[in-house]
Amino acid sequence: MGYKTEHITHQLRAAREVKNMSQRELSARSGLTQSHISQIERGTMEPGLGSLVDVARVLDLEIVLVPKKLMPAIGNILDSASAMSDTLTSEQRKLVGRVDRWLAEGRDRFAITSDADNLKDSLALLRHLPLSAEELEKFRDLAMTLLRWQSEPPPAKHVSEFVHAIRSLRNAAVHRDRDDAVPRSAYALDEEDDDA
Amino acid sequence: MGYKTEHITHQLRAAREVKNMSQRELSARSGLTQSHISQIERGTMEPGLGSLVDVARVLDLEIVLVPKKLMPAIGNILDSASAMSDTLTSEQRKLVGRVDRWLAEGRDRFAITSDADNLKDSLALLRHLPLSAEELEKFRDLAMTLLRWQSEPPPAKHVSEFVHAIRSLRNAAVHRDRDDAVPRSAYALDEEDDDA
DNA sequence: CGGAATGATATATTATCCTGTATCGATCGT
DNA sequence: ACGATCGATACAGGATAATATATCATTCCG
């Protein structure tokens, strides 16, 4: 039904998740119901224009009508901005990418498959959430010790510790309030991006 | 009520008028009712997102959610594009501007005020509608002969001929089908823009 | 003048958005 | 294991968007 508005609703969900805002919080700030938001994001229902602007306002989004002819130019701006999107350092992106690939190379490195799933989820979030300097340092240590096992799987005890520590970092980043951003230096983009 | 969506609906009306499309034609192509379109443009009613995309598609517009932070950049692209908007030659824009100012300088140049009003309306449309090479030549001749009267008002007979001729040109441009565009050379923008 | 097209309205009927509330399963933190 | 939170769903009722026609005043063209 609502295939016409998919890109818009998907964009709404993406913006909300990037801001790490729950449907309920978005509901409280926008005036819409959590139920309503859920159905809009899933495409079950098409929002009215009024509801759309209410949600967009909370997510710091502006609704713009762009001539199709200008879409490539606009698209470039949007992409370049979302590329250096969050204030992630190049190092953080690289580390996440390396662990991600290490994880993909040998799924059998984990005795418990749920550990692999948990780790994968945590990494997906760490790909987008900024870490403080201390947190990044901790993350670097963890990643380095784990990445040492290339040919043979690491001891189970070690893996479990790693998964737990990563989840802890993830939670710290996730539950950090949107309002107090992570203090971070300005030089954001360096050499090549190592993401997968 | 719908003050939140004013800019959007206004943009819709502007886009439709630039394309010289009637509410009824837009209705036929979009699937909405002419009544519905009228109310949307006037802000009497807020359209659903589905209706909005239907109308926008016909008008060659794309609905984009832009982070507020990027709005200045996007705004620049939109403005610069609408400046060199339609495929009007610089000469056509200049001529319209000159006649426009000539008209504003001395309203008393016209014995019949309705003539002045008609002329003003025709110019408003000629400001946005492309003319063929022959039409532009005709327009240039008309404008030049009219602009010769600076200090004293032109003879009434001359004015009436001018108004009629301009209206004829206007109608030719207005009723030209959007589908067969005016063949025009590519070098569009020259020196300064002389518009008022 | 007479016909055609436009935009603005009016009314009645249908469709559906939207809210409010409540529940469910899954997940996460203590 | 427990309580808390999240997303997905269900359902009833009031609000309103949307359709379908029709009319009216203006304007433009022959």
Tell me, yes or no, whether B189 lies in a domain.
no
Most confident stretch, A28-32, A132-136, B149-153 = A28-32
Q: Are B65 and A2 a contacting pair at CB < 8 A?
A: no
A83 touches chain B (CB under 8 A): no
Find the domain containing B24 and state its range: 5-59
Measured from Cα to the C1' atom, the residue closest to C9 is B35
B84 touches chain A (CB under 8 A): no
pLDDT (0 to 100) of residue A26: 94
Q: pLDDT class for A195, splitting at 50, 70, 90?
A: very low
pLDDT at A190 over 50: no
Radius of gyration of chain B (CA): 19
Cβ atoms of B195 and B96 closer than 8 Å? yes
Q: For residue A38, give both structure tokens.
A: 């859920």
- Secondary structure, 3-state, A124-192: HHHCCCCCCHHHHHHHHHHHHHHHCCCCCCCCHHHHHHHHHHHHHHHHHHHCCCCCCCCCCCCCCCCCC
pLDDT at A8 over 80: yes
Return residues with beta carbons within 7 A of strand D: A 22-25, 34-35, 38-39, 41-42, 44, 48, 50; B 31-36, 40, 45-48, 50-51, 118, 121, 167, 170-171, 174
Tell me, yes or no, whether A191 lies in a domain.
no
**Which of the residue ranges A54-58, A99-103, B192-196 would you say has the lowest mean pLDDT?**
B192-196
A86 touches chain B (CB under 8 A): no
What average pLDDT does this structure show over A156-160?
A: 73
Tell me, yes or no, whether A190 lies in a domain.
no
How far CA A156 is from CA of A115, A150, A161, A169, in Å, comes to 10, 15, 9, 20
Q: Say whether both A85 and A126 belong to one domain.
A: yes
Q: Say whether both B83 and B172 belong to one domain.
A: yes
Residues of B within 8 A of A74 (CB-CB) are 64, 66, 74, 77
**CA angle at B41 for the pair B35 and B47, rounded to the nearest 5°:** 75
pLDDT at A108 over 70: no
Q: pLDDT class for A188, splitting at 50, 70, 90?
A: very low
Q: pLDDT class for A128, splitting at 50, 70, 90?
A: low
For residue A28, the one-letter residue type is: A
Q: Say whether both A124 and A153 belong to one domain.
A: yes
Tell me, yes or no, whether A194 lies in a domain.
no
Percent of residues, chain A, with pLDDT higher than 90: 24
Higher-scoring residue by pLDDT: A15, A178: A15
Q: In angstroms, how far is C23 C1' from A114 CA?
A: 28
Q: Which residues of chain B have pLDDT under 70?
A: 1-2, 76, 79-89, 106-115, 121, 124-125, 127-130, 171-196
pLDDT (0 to 100) of residue A120: 75
Q: Say whether both B162 and B78 belong to one domain.
A: yes
Q: Say whether both B161 and B77 belong to one domain.
A: yes
Q: Say whether both B80 and B176 belong to one domain.
A: yes
Average pLDDT for chain A: 75
Q: Say whether both B18 and B53 belong to one domain.
A: yes
pLDDT at A110 over 80: no
Q: Say whether both A95 and A33 belong to one domain.
A: no
Tell me, yes or no, whether B196 lies in a domain.
no
| A122–chain B nearest CA distance, Å | 26
Most confident stretch, A103-107, A134-138, B122-126 = A134-138
Q: Are A77 and B74 a contacting pair at CB < 8 A?
A: yes
A48 phi/psi in degrees, rounded to 5:
-75, 165
Global pTM exceeds 0.75: no
pLDDT (0 to 100) of residue A133: 72
Which residue in this structure is represented by tokens 């030049």? B144
Cβ atoms of B46 and A49 closer than 8 Å? yes
B8 touches chain A (CB under 8 A): yes
**Which of the residue ranges A81-85, A169-173, B28-32, B138-142 would you say has the lowest mean pLDDT?**
A81-85
How many independent structural domains does chain A possess? 2
A112 touches chain B (CB under 8 A): no
Tell me, yes or no, whether B192 lies in a domain.
no
What average pLDDT does this structure show over A118-127?
A: 71
Percent of residues, chain B, with pLDDT higher than 70: 68
Q: Say whether both B79 and B28 belong to one domain.
A: no
Distance separating alpha carbons of residues B161 and A100, to the nearest angstrom: 78
Q: Say whether both A50 and A105 belong to one domain.
A: no
Q: Say whether both A48 and A84 belong to one domain.
A: no
Q: Are A15 and B65 a contacting pair at CB < 8 A?
A: yes
Percent of residues, chain A, with pLDDT higher than 70: 68
pLDDT at A34 over 90: yes
Q: Say whether both B129 and B74 belong to one domain.
A: yes
pLDDT (0 to 100) of residue B177: 46
Q: Are B61 and A66 a contacting pair at CB < 8 A?
A: yes
Tell me, yes or no, whether A195 lies in a domain.
no
Q: Which nucleotides of C are covered by protein (CB under 7 A)?
A: 5-11, 16-22, 28-29
Burial of B109 (0-12, 13-18, 19+ CB in 10 A): middle
